[in-house]
Structure 1
Amino acid sequence: MTTPRWKNRPEGSNWGDFGPDDQIGRLNFLTPEKVLQGIAEVKHGKSFCLSMPLDYPGGTVLSARRRPPQVMAGMRNGRPYYNYAMQDENPDLTDVITDDAVLIYTQYSTQWDALAHVGSHFDADGDGVDEMVYYNGFRAGTDVIGPEEPHFDEGTGCTHSGVEARKLGIESMAATGVQGRGCLIDLAHHFGMERKLIGYEEVMRACEADGVEVEKGDLVCLHTGFAKVILDMNKNPDPKVVASSCVELDGRDEKLLKWIDESGLAALIADNFSVEAFPGTKTEGRHATLPLHELCLFKLGIHLGELWYLSDLANWLRENGRSRFLLTAPPLRLPGAVGSPVTPIATV
């Protein structure tokens, strides 16, 4: 299969399997039947918020390139539109109005990665030269537009000037509703709170011990306890604690990557910084820094959720002998963005 955008597709990818112009990847597996399966898991009507407050983790310890949100007052008549007395305009009016604006790094806290978040150098057009491409062959510079004349703003830490994911932006994910059956794998319970790399064997051991079965179209959540560690540090994360806490997936474990592919999971979510260990373990030759990201976002169209808060849900599921729930987690429908904050809800 070829398309106007590519003649070659990466080995092990599913480019074109959902159509030549597909932009949602494995979210195609979130069928009405999967939504009904999720709804069938609701027995108690109890809901869990799976988001941290969006001003966590605090500071820039987790990522020097991402900053906490800044909440600002809107303006009206040259004055801050905050505790604004309308009687100043008309003495007969009693309203007091507050409006605000937010500058937010879309991937600072609890978030989704859009498929435009990570691409790769790959010879998609078969001319013998690698080009920068994303899932399903969408192109850097054509479909994902970067700044032509970057202007760095020290105050915001951002580079402005016409950036836009015209394809694979987060709005395509949002339009699906992102609702279905969630499935939690409790890695923290089985492997503790100290940092260590784990792979396929450990994940399967945890699933077997708890009777967890991942099926096609499930939204899989990995509980490591990391978000709870972050919350307990109250927006002042200790770099030593961050570096020594909780299990991380070994993205170079080929058996783990094969399982992610063959399981049919629709999305992969974790309560840590990048799902897999960052940076990835050392290897030789040309390679991706984050091989699990390359597999999921670039090859298979699997959206990744990061820094979700899963501990309360994990504890309840364990106490009640369950691993499945209804998960509702649409990102912001923000055209052109390559990531989004999210306030996921699990209902049991």
Structure 2
Amino acid sequence: MTEPAPRRWTRRPEGSNWGDFGEDDQIGRMNLITPARRLAGVAEVREGLCFALSLPLDYPGWDDPILGRAPPVLSTRRLADAALFNFPFGRVIPGSRDLCCDDAVTLSTQYSTQWDSLAHWGRLFDADGNGVDEPVYYNGFRAGSDLPDADANGGSHARRLGIEHLAVAGAQGRGVLVDLTGVAPDARAVGHDALMALIAEQRVEVRTGDFLLLWTGLDEQLLAMNRQPDRKRLAQTAIELDGSDPALLRWIDESGIAAICSDNTAVETVVFGEDCCADGKSFLPLHELCLFKLGIHLGELWHLAELARWLRAHRRSAFLLTAPPLCLPGSVGSPVTPVATV
């Protein structure tokens, strides 16, 4: 008789939902998007208008100095010792008058408009309950075995929690947008109270299984900078969620939202410093809560301005969102061209 496989964890992080959707779950809160909730998204379509929510994938335009993400590089394939661009097939097929263009791309999957997979953010945590911290990810999946290291046979990739699971799950449902562009200059780290006030003012109804979209105006700033972003200026004007606010984190959990997507670079404020990780804290607490504890996917650098202005003009906040990532097995993130239909 075959022995059952040992459970990956005996202890889960406080406030997490590990195991609630099954011991082997790899899509987290996307489980909440049932057929009924997807139909609720379809019910928000009244005009048949659509908005593409992706920046051009060569934006922002910087070479990321921290994570090394770089703009995509297009290259041309070759056939019969010639570039496969305006290639005349008459060179290989006598009498052919056909032409062909074919290319390839090298890209950082999280450079521009993107999804973070649940394999993007992990923690050192004592999941075995033996007093020793292990490197683990959502639902207790392990670094090394489930996410092999770079020097492993075949190289680094996510055997579990890869972005393909979000693709197959069908990233589609009811989306709601909150306009954060009007916050005061001295309150650009948006906490619970400020967010609740905006939600009430804009009459946004947030339901279980919704995609929550946050427009801060950074998308328009980046487009205006034409691939030559001014980092200092962007840092001075950035609007982000305050991941250090316990009330905000509690609301994210209790709201039942399936994903959070923003036009900024990390959804939350990134704070580096000597004390940012004191007492074992994460320097990205919202990433810890969403990706590591609750399985809430994060979308970053989405282009939301046109949709936000249309919704405001028509006194609406909800729409059908369709946003599948690339079905790229093993990837920890993916470019995405989301579409909002109103």
Q: TM-score, normalised by structure 1?
A: 0.93
Report the equivalent of 1:54.
57
Report the equivalent of 2:111.
108
Bigger shift: residues 294-303 or 279-288: 279-288
Q: Does residue 89 of structure 1 match 2:92?
A: yes
Q: Does residue 340 of structure 1 match 2:320?
A: no
1:218 to 205, 210, 219: 210
Please state how far the C-alpha of 1:145 moved relative to its aligned partner.
1.2
Amino acid of the structure 1 residue aligned with 2:332: V
Identity over aligned pairs, percent: 53
Please state how far the C-alpha of 1:83 moved relative to its aligned partner.
1.3
Q: Tell me if structure 2 keeps the 8 A contact 1:135–1:299.
A: yes
Q: Does residue 36 of structure 1 match 2:39?
A: yes
Query: After the TM superposition, which residues 205-244 of structure 1 pair with which residues of structure 2 at under 5 Å, given as runs?
Result: 205-244=197-236
1:249 to 228, 241, 244: 241
CA spacing shift, 1:121–1:237, aligned 2, 3 Å:
same
Which runs of no fewer than 5 residues in structure 2 stay unpaired?
none
Deviations 1:248-287 (A, max 9, x none): 1111100000000000001111110000011368543221
Report the equivalent of 2:71.
68
Report the equivalent of 1:290.
284
CA spacing shift, 1:175–1:337, aligned 2, 3 Å:
same
In 1, the alpha carbon distance for the partners of 2:187 and 2:315 equals 26
Report the equivalent of 2:295.
301
Aligned to 1:180, the other structure's residue is in SS state strand
In 2, the alpha carbon distance for the partners of 1:104 and 1:248 equals 26
In 2, the alpha carbon distance for the partners of 1:194 and 1:315 equals 24
1:325 to 319, 323, 335: 319
In 2, the alpha carbon distance for the partners of 1:49 and 1:3 equals 45
Amino acid of the structure 2 residue aligned with 1:53: P
Q: Tell me if structure 1 keeps the 8 A contact 2:80–2:92.
A: no
In 2, the alpha carbon distance for the partners of 1:116 and 1:106 equals 13
Report the equivalent of 1:153.
none
CA spacing shift, 1:31–1:200, aligned 2, 3 Å:
same
Report the equivalent of 2:130.
127
Q: Which runs of 4+ in 1 moved over 6 A?
A: none
CA spacing shift, 1:144–1:122, aligned 2, 3 Å:
same
Q: Tell me if structure 2 keeps the 8 A contact 1:280–1:291.
A: no
CA spacing shift, 1:193–1:237, aligned 2, 3 Å:
farther
RMSD between aligned alpha carbons? 1.8
In 1, the alpha carbon distance for the partners of 2:64 and 2:132 equals 38
Report the equivalent of 1:267.
259
CA spacing shift, 1:233–1:341, aligned 2, 3 Å:
same
Amino acid of the structure 1 residue aligned with 2:263: D
Report the equivalent of 2:149.
146
Aligned to 1:175, the other structure's residue is in SS state helix
2:169 to 176, 182, 185: 176
Bigger shift: residues 284-293 or 121-130: 284-293
Bigger shift: residues 110-119 or 52-61: 52-61
CA spacing shift, 1:320–1:119, aligned 2, 3 Å:
same
In 1, the alpha carbon distance for the partners of 2:304 and 2:178 equals 10
Deviations 1:324-343 (A, max 9, x none): 00000000000000000000
Deviations 1:4-35 (A, max 9, x none): 10000000000000000000000001100111
CA spacing shift, 1:260–1:63, aligned 2, 3 Å:
same
Amino acid of the structure 1 residue aligned with 2:230: D
Aligned to 2:169, the other structure's residue is in SS state coil
Amino acid of the structure 2 residue aligned with 1:43: R
Please state how far the C-alpha of 1:59 moved relative to its aligned partner.
2.0
1:204 to 192, 196, 201: 196
CA spacing shift, 1:301–1:99, aligned 2, 3 Å:
same
In 1, the alpha carbon distance for the partners of 2:341 and 2:303 equals 14
In 2, the alpha carbon distance for the partners of 1:54 and 1:105 equals 10
Aligned to 2:260, the other structure's residue is in SS state strand
In 1, the alpha carbon distance for the partners of 2:179 and 2:272 equals 22
Q: Tell me if structure 2 keeps the 8 A contact 1:280–1:289.
A: yes
Which runs of no fewer than 5 residues in structure 1 stay unpaired?
150-159
Q: TM-score, normalised by structure 2?
A: 0.94
In 2, the alpha carbon distance for the partners of 1:13 and 1:147 equals 28
